[in-house]
Amino acid sequence: MKLLSKDEIQRGQELVGRVVEGLNQIILGKRDLVEQAVVGLLARGHILLEGLPGLGKTELVKGLSRLLGLGFRRVQFTPDLLPSDITGTYILQESADGRRFVFHPGPIFANLVLADEINRASPKTQSALLEAMQERRVTVLGTTHDLPAPFFVLATQNPIELEGTYPLPEAQIDRFMLKLDVAAASTEVLEAIITTRQAGQPPALSAVLSAEELGEAFAIVDQVALPPAVANYISRLVTATHRDGGATTGPAAHVKFGASPRAAIALASAGRALALLRGKPNVGFDEVRALAEPAVAHRLVMDYSARLENIDGRSVVRSILASLGELEQEMPEELSRK
């Protein structure tokens, strides 16, 4: 297993650090949220941001697009939005050869797509994103169109208890690498916002990474090592969310359907990005534990009894982490003493 050199790690940290520093100027007081958003981006995954309106979810996505200089489109999801409003459609047009159908791309054809308030649209419309998020392409009337690279969907959603929202289908929510909860700002952060920003507007920032530098950052992340012991830890964590994998007691017993293999892939990929952000040449157990909740919890389908017991996916993941040993077989006692 060839590890990254010290110079390569420093280069990767320097590139990633520019984005983190820029986002911290836009989103005040949410360093963990900013780091996790950048981790998801470096791992080339889609991100779902959940929180009440006005907490900075949209500004976070817009800030990422400005800092990376990527092509950006925003789609405001509403109950009357149609799938063709997202993917595009064929329109009959006049040409030199007579009338013919011409494909007009929808807003999905951008490097970074903000699906704002995604759970206000019907499941039929939400499903228009499935192929795009998984295959990075769109098929309309039997013709497949490739999406630009890189391609990211960053979606915001309101808590499902709010009026006029629809729960995301399991197939769609599974395609989000990370689900990040956006909490309300503290008193100190609110004071900083109203005293340092005119009309609450974030500072105007220019791109901090070129397309070549972003590609370089991706390449460095891909070279971060995943030790076999850590890979085994991830696999056992995901398996433990299934009843036939040992989830028979505690909060995990309330899981109806456990996490899919995408959860393990997402956790490994995001772990590589977080390790680089922390200046490490390999993924450690700490990176897995730090990302387990945002990478796994939203993929769990809870039993009806979970609501009665006030148990959600995050509490299930926390209980599994608390009981899961780092090594599948512990070291002999005589060796662990040395």
Q: What is the CATH number of the domain that holds 149?
A: 3.40.50.300
User: What is the reported pLDDT for 249?
Assistant: 61
pTM of the model: 0.87
262 located within any domain: no
**Torsion angle of C-alpha atoms 289, 294, 296, 298, degrees rounded to 10:** 150
In a domain, 63, yes or no: yes
pLDDT of residue 141: 84
Neighbouring CB atoms inside 10 A of 162's CB total 13
Q: For residue 296, what pLDDT is reported?
A: 94
Residues 6+ apart with CB under 8 A from 77: 115, 116, 117, 118, 119, 120, 121, 125, 126
Burial of 161 per CB tally in 10 Å (0-12, 13-18, 19+): exposed
- Write the DSSP symbol of residue 280: -
Count each helix (H run) and each strand (E run) in the chain, helices first: 15, 11
Has residue 197 been placed in a domain? no
Residue 226 lies in a domain: no
In a domain, 336, yes or no: no
Q: Which domain does 71 fall in, by range?
A: 29-183
Predicted local confidence at residue 271, as pLDDT: 96
Is 160 part of any domain? yes
- The Cα 93–Cα 90 span in angstroms is 9
| Model pLDDT, residue 248 | 56
In a domain, 266, yes or no: no
pLDDT at 275: 95
**Within 43-183, where are the H helices?**
57-68, 84-87, 123-126, 130-135, 170-173
The tally of domains found in the chain comes to 1
For the chain, list residues with pLDDT below 70. Answer: 1, 160-163, 198-200, 245-250, 329-338
Residue 172 lies in a domain: yes
